[in-house]
Amino acid sequence: MFVGYEQIAVSNTVLTVAALTIPPGAAYAELQAGPAGGVRYTMDNTTNPTQTFGMVLSGSALLNIITKEFIIEDIRRIRFIRDGAVDTLLNIHYSGGGIT
């Protein structure tokens, strides 16, 4: 069940969960980066990603954009930064149940 959506700008400053607005009842979040570029992220709540370090969520201007699903407990520990030299957007759909 869809419970919310947000879009945040990601630049060369690390974003933490404080930058997100997680709606009440959210159990999952589906993330999509782009179209200008991707993001890097870490999920241990202590390590900051850099523009060359961290897991990559690629951005794409294509219709078949890569998405990644996380449980909300992971989102509460996640940190983001842009991947490379280009600022981008991060789109987040929040769901109260499994994403179908």
> What's the distance, CA 68 to chain centroid?
8
Residue 69 reports pLDDT greater than 90: no
Q: What angle do CA 32, 91, 75 make, to 5 degrees?
A: 80
- Whether 70 is in a domain gets the answer yes
Structural domains of the chain, count:
1
CATH number of the domain that residue 22 is part of: 2.60.120
The model's pLDDT over 6-23, given as tens digits with 9 standing for 90+, comes to 999 999 999 998 999 999
Which residues constitute the domain of residue 33? 2-95
For 70, residues 6+ apart whose C-beta sits below 8 A from its C-beta are 28, 29, 30, 31, 78
* Residue 76 within a domain: yes
In a domain, residue 65? The reply is yes
pLDDT confidence tier of residue 47, bands split at 50, 70 and 90: very high
75 belongs to a structural domain: yes
